[in-house]
């Protein structure tokens, strides 16, 4: 399984590589702006990437626009529960701008719009064979094995137990649905106490355990954990063609913020992604 590299430029966090054929500005430090934009261009040019994708506070929107970026998604109260977050794209190859399967993506969003938010799936139910709980370092070998089964390729090395242990010790909280002492479904929340938001990500369910709303149950568990840690907003970047994942977030009360065109390489191809968000003020 191939993954892209994560580096820092100044105090900003960047991922880049040929897997997703992009530069991804994951975290924008004010002290690095606006010169950081030139560094992103340089990095993209030296490796001939097709796209630069950036998450940034709205206060830097003019600088990004002047540099040729367009806003693909917009999340209110993304930073500290106050400032809007922009998800921006700059296309360096014309073919990268062309959204494939646009009608199918629109159909997924239409279906989501028809589904009103429903009560959250309980994390654990009496008599149920699955136990939903937070993961520990002792679980990482089994977690990596499940991720290898589910994903042929992925933007981050979640197939590596050491990567899971390292991120678990930092600012990533993993949850799993366990059955007979083996993980059947996994997800994570990568949170920023400074920005007070968390990305709900890394959802994976074993093929034989699908159709049991395990992703929804993991989402409920992670939302409660993030709210307990004082995180104000949850968001996700979901595969735009995945009915199941988009419906899970729509039913959980998330709002659609936009679509990132040809953004992320998952399971062997670059896919467009939907951004969803939800305030966590009422979680407990």
Based on the fold, state whether residues 79 and 118 are members of the same structural domain. no
Contact (CB, 8 A) for 220 and 118: no
Contact (CB, 8 A) for 202 and 186: yes
The pair of structure tokens assigned to 240 is 């735009």
pTM of the model: 0.93
The pair of structure tokens assigned to 5 is 């590299």
Residue 225 main-chain phi, psi, to 5 deg: -65, -40
Based on the fold, state whether residues 178 and 57 are members of the same structural domain. no
The pair of structure tokens assigned to 69 is 């970026």
Q: Which residue matches tokens 């968000």?
A: 277
Contact (CB, 8 A) for 187 and 222: yes
Based on the fold, state whether residues 182 and 274 are members of the same structural domain. yes
Based on the fold, state whether residues 137 and 190 are members of the same structural domain. yes
Based on the fold, state whether residues 140 and 66 are members of the same structural domain. no
For residue 284, being part of any structural domain is answered with: no
Give the pLDDT band of residue 282 (cuts 50, 70, 90).
low
For residue 160, being part of any structural domain is answered with: yes
Based on the fold, state whether residues 43 and 161 are members of the same structural domain. no
Q: Which residue matches tokens 């990596």?
A: 144
Residue 107 main-chain phi, psi, to 5 deg: -65, -40
Based on the fold, state whether residues 203 and 138 are members of the same structural domain. yes
Based on the fold, state whether residues 247 and 130 are members of the same structural domain. yes
- pLDDT for res 284: 45
Contacts of 131 (CB under 8 A, 6+ apart): 124, 177, 178, 179
Q: Domain of residue 154: give its range.
A: 102-279
Question: Which tens digit of pLDDT belongs to each residue from 39-90?
Answer: 999 999 999 999 999 999 999 999 999 999 999 999 999 999 999 999 999 9
Based on the fold, state whether residues 135 and 53 are members of the same structural domain. no
Q: Which residue matches tokens 């950036």?
A: 54
CATH of the domain at 259: 3.40.630.30
Contact (CB, 8 A) for 196 and 227: no
Number of domains in the chain: 2
Based on the fold, state whether residues 259 and 216 are members of the same structural domain. yes
The pair of structure tokens assigned to 234 is 């949850």
| H or E, element range at 5 | strand 5-9
Question: Across residues 222-228, what is the average pLDDT?
Answer: 98
Based on the fold, state whether residues 46 and 16 are members of the same structural domain. yes
Distance CA 271, CA 275 (A): 13
């Amino acid at each position: 399984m191939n993954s892209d590299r994560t580096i820092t430029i100044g105090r900003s966090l960047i991922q880049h590589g040929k897997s997703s054929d992009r530069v991804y500005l994951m975290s924008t430090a004010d002290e690095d702006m606006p010169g950081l934009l030139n560094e992103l261009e340089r990095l993209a040019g030296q490796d001939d990437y097709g796209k630069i994708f950036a998450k940034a506070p709205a206060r830097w929107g003019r600088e990004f626009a002047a540099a040729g970026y367009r806003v693909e998604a917009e999340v209110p109260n993304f930073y500290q529960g106050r400032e809007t977050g922009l998800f921006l794209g700059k296309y360096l190859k014309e073919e990268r701008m062309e959204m494939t399967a646009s009608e199918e993506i629109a159909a997924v969003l239409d279906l989501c719009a028809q589904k009103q938010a429903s009560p959250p799936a309980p994390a654990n139910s009496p008599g149920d064979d699955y136990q939903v709980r937070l993961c520990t370092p002792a679980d990482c070998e089994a977690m990596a094995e499940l991720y290898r089964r589910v994903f042929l390729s992925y933007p981050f090395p979640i197939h590596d137990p050491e990567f899971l242990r390292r991120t678990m010790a930092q600012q990533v909280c993993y949850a799993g649905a366990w059955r007979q002492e083996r993980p059947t479904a996994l997800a994570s929340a990568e949170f920023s106490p400074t920005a007070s938001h968390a990305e709900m990500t890394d959802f994976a369910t074993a093929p034989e355990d699908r159709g049991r709303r395990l992703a929804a149950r993991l989402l409920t568990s992670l939302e409660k954990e993030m709210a307990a840690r004082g995180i104000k907003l949850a968001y996700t970047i979901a595969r735009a063609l995945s009915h199941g994942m988009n419906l899970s977030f729509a039913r959980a009360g998330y709002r659609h913020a936009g679509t990132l065109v040809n953004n992320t390489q998952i399971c062997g191809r670059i896919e467009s992604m939907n951004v969803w968000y939800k305030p966590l003020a009422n979680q407990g």
